Structure formats: C-alpha cells, structure tokens
Amino acid sequence: MTPKTYPRCTVCLNADKRRLIEAGWNAGMGAETMSRAIGGSPASAAIMRHIKEHADGDGNTRQLEVEPELPVRERVLNLQRLQLDEIERRIALARTRADDMNREREKLTDSEGNPFPPIDWSEFTDILGKDMQAAIGSILKTQGLSDKREKAQGDLKLGLFEAMTNAGLAPKALVGGIKLPALRSGDEIEGEVTEVSDD
C-alpha cells in the first residue's frame, strides 16, 4: 500500500528522499546529519516534523515502516489499478447520488401534479466523456501491453520446450522413455522385511 502523502511536507513530496530519511532514522541517524547529507533540503526541522507527524510506524523507537522501492512495471500496474479504482468510485458516487435524489423526488410533484422523472446517474458522471474515455483508454492500453508480454513469455517457454524436445534434450520423464516402477503392495514389502530378519 502506498504511504499517505502530505502535500505541504517536503519529505513526503519526494518518495526517494522519504525512503532515505526513514531508513536513515531507523539506522540511528540524526535529522541534522541527514539534512546535511542530502544537501540541506529538506531542513532538519522538516525531517523531524515528518517523522513525528507523517511517517508510519514508531519514530520514538526508530521503527518506521519504510516503503520499498518498486520496479517500474509494478509501479505502472499500481497506477493502472488506481485509475480503475477511481473510475469505479466515481460511478458508485454518481449512482448513490442519483438514488438519493430519486428517493427525495418521489415525494414531490410539479405544478401540474405530475411526478418528476427519475434522474439517471450518468448525469453526474459521463462515462462517455473525453476525460473518462481517455482514462479508460489508458487502462486498456496498459492491460493490452501486459497481456502481450505474458503471451510472449508463454510462447517463448513453449518454443524452448519444443526445441529441447526436438533436439532430444528434454527430460525423459516429461516426453516419455522412462518406465516408472509399479507400486508394490504392503504384503510384498512385509515379506521382504520378514526374510531379512530370519537371517
């Protein structure tokens, strides 16, 4: 899970500096030492404020939770997941708002006594609008690239296995040629044990 970021905190705003400072704090470094080591920005006061107010874990015992640096691919997938979650959240909010308004409107009528027509949630979130479509297109593009990569890796593994099989290099247990011994009954094994003990 991504740690919470506070926009006015100079430590929170830079993920690399945040990891460095939190790991340094856990290792016993002081705020002034860390500030000097990274060129004076953020200042020691900002570092201490971050550790006391924003860092996850226990700063007093120097046991902060340091977010690991993720590979780019995983970070891209996290962004894709975040976009998808946000789209679904906005749709859910629009549906809830429409339902609430429709419940209120059930009790009301216009000047002629006719009930108001129901409100559709799409009036609050336009899923076909250009911004939403751009976000959806981005998600689909990222997913398509992931699917292509997985397919290429699967094809590579299959091709490698076929090449090994054709060259006679594949394990015989996978392609045949080894006859596995049949399972023996308990009576046969017990008879062998009895013969050995008689000697």
Per the DSSP assignment, residues forming a β-bridge with 63 are 58
Q: pLDDT tens-digit profile of 98-152?
A: 999 998 888 788 778 788 888 898 888 888 888 888 888 888 887 777 777 777 7
Average per-residue pLDDT for the chain: 81
Structure tokens at 66: 């340091």
Q: Which is more confidently placed, 71 or 196?
A: 71
* DSSP label at residue 57: E
User: If you write DSSP's letter for every residue of 13-65 in order, what string do you get?
Assistant: T-HHHHHHHHHHHHTT--HHHHHHHTTT-S-HHHHHHHHHHT-SEETTTTEE-
Q: Give residue 148's pLDDT.
A: 76
Per-residue 3-state assignment (H helix, E strand, C coil) for 104-126: HHCCCECCCCCECCCCCHHHCCC
State the residue for tokens 């924003």: 54
State the residue for tokens 């704090």: 25
Give the Cβ contact number of residue 69 at 10 Å.
10
Report yes or no: 154 and 163 within 8 Å, Cβ to Cβ: no
* DSSP label at residue 84: H
- 171 has pLDDT over 70: no
Q: pLDDT tens-digit profile of 4-33?
A: 777 788 898 888 899 999 999 999 999 999
Confidence of residue 175 (pLDDT cuts 50, 70, 90): low
Task: Report the largest interatomic distance among the alpha carbons of the chain, rounded to a whole angstrom.
Answer: 111
Q: pLDDT tens-digit profile of 57-113?
A: 888 888 888 888 878 778 778 888 888 888 899 999 999 999 999 988 887 887 787
Q: Give residue 125's pLDDT.
A: 86
Per the DSSP assignment, residues forming a β-bridge with 64 are 57
Structure tokens at 83: 């976009």
Structure tokens at 120: 């559709």
Q: Give residue 167's pLDDT.
A: 67
Q: Give residue 114's pLDDT.
A: 82
- 173 has pLDDT over 80: no
State the residue for tokens 């890796």: 153
